Amino acid sequence: MKEGENNMDNLSKTIGLNQYPDMLSPKHLAEIFGVSKNTIYKEIKLGKFGSPEQIGREMKIPKLYIWERFIKRYA
Protein backbone atom coordinates (compact mmCIF):
# COMPACT_ATOMS: atom_id res chain seq x y z
CA MET A 1 0.00 0.00 0.00
CA LYS A 2 1.31 3.45 -0.87
CA GLU A 3 1.94 5.94 1.89
CA GLY A 4 -1.20 7.92 2.69
CA GLU A 5 -3.63 5.35 1.28
CA ASN A 6 -6.06 3.55 3.52
CA ASN A 7 -8.56 0.74 3.09
CA MET A 8 -11.35 3.14 2.13
CA ASP A 9 -9.22 4.58 -0.67
CA ASN A 10 -8.36 1.14 -2.00
CA LEU A 11 -11.90 -0.22 -1.89
CA SER A 12 -13.36 3.04 -3.22
CA LYS A 13 -11.19 2.64 -6.30
CA THR A 14 -12.21 -1.00 -6.66
CA ILE A 15 -15.95 -0.40 -6.48
CA GLY A 16 -15.86 2.99 -8.18
CA LEU A 17 -16.79 5.29 -5.29
CA ASN A 18 -13.86 7.58 -6.01
CA GLN A 19 -15.77 8.98 -9.01
CA TYR A 20 -18.41 10.43 -6.66
CA PRO A 21 -18.20 13.56 -4.48
CA ASP A 22 -17.83 13.33 -0.69
CA MET A 23 -21.51 14.22 -0.22
CA LEU A 24 -23.79 11.92 -2.23
CA SER A 25 -27.17 12.87 -3.65
CA PRO A 26 -30.06 10.41 -4.03
CA LYS A 27 -29.15 10.24 -7.73
CA HIS A 28 -25.62 9.13 -6.85
CA LEU A 29 -26.95 6.55 -4.39
CA ALA A 30 -29.33 5.20 -7.02
CA GLU A 31 -26.38 4.70 -9.38
CA ILE A 32 -24.22 3.06 -6.70
CA PHE A 33 -26.91 0.65 -5.49
CA GLY A 34 -28.50 0.06 -8.91
CA VAL A 35 -32.01 1.11 -7.91
CA SER A 36 -34.32 4.01 -8.75
CA LYS A 37 -34.20 7.41 -7.07
CA ASN A 38 -37.70 6.74 -5.72
CA THR A 39 -36.40 3.64 -3.96
CA ILE A 40 -33.59 5.70 -2.42
CA TYR A 41 -36.06 8.33 -1.20
CA LYS A 42 -38.18 5.59 0.40
CA GLU A 43 -35.11 4.13 2.10
CA ILE A 44 -34.09 7.59 3.33
CA LYS A 45 -37.55 8.03 4.89
CA LEU A 46 -37.15 4.63 6.58
CA GLY A 47 -33.84 5.80 8.08
CA LYS A 48 -31.59 3.43 6.15
CA PHE A 49 -29.15 6.26 5.32
CA GLY A 50 -28.89 7.86 8.75
CA SER A 51 -29.74 11.53 8.96
CA PRO A 52 -29.07 13.12 5.57
CA GLU A 53 -27.96 16.73 5.43
CA GLN A 54 -30.39 19.09 3.75
CA ILE A 55 -28.40 21.35 1.44
CA GLY A 56 -30.71 23.69 -0.40
CA ARG A 57 -33.50 21.56 -1.78
CA GLU A 58 -31.45 18.39 -1.96
CA MET A 59 -30.56 15.76 0.61
CA LYS A 60 -26.93 14.72 0.83
CA ILE A 61 -25.45 11.64 2.48
CA PRO A 62 -21.74 11.53 3.34
CA LYS A 63 -19.79 9.00 1.28
CA LEU A 64 -18.06 8.01 4.52
CA TYR A 65 -21.44 6.91 5.93
CA ILE A 66 -21.99 4.64 2.91
CA TRP A 67 -18.50 3.21 3.42
CA GLU A 68 -19.03 2.56 7.14
CA ARG A 69 -22.61 1.26 6.91
CA PHE A 70 -22.65 -0.77 3.70
CA ILE A 71 -19.15 -1.51 2.45
CA LYS A 72 -16.62 -1.74 5.28
CA ARG A 73 -18.35 -4.66 7.00
CA TYR A 74 -18.17 -6.73 3.82
CA ALA A 75 -14.64 -5.76 2.82
pLDDT along the chain (75 residues), means of 10: 51 70 95 93 93 92 88 68
* The pLDDT of residue 14: 52
pTM score of the predicted model: 0.74
Helices of type H across 1-75:
7-15, 26-33, 37-45, 63-66
Q: Which fold has domain 20-74?
A: Molybdopterin biosynthesis moea protein, domain 2 (3.90.105)
- Provide the 8-state DSSP code for 19: G
> What does the domain layout of the chain look like in residue ranges?
20-74
Calculate the alpha carbon distances from 42 to 6, 21, 30, 37, 57 in Å. 32, 22, 12, 9, 17
* The pLDDT of residue 29: 94
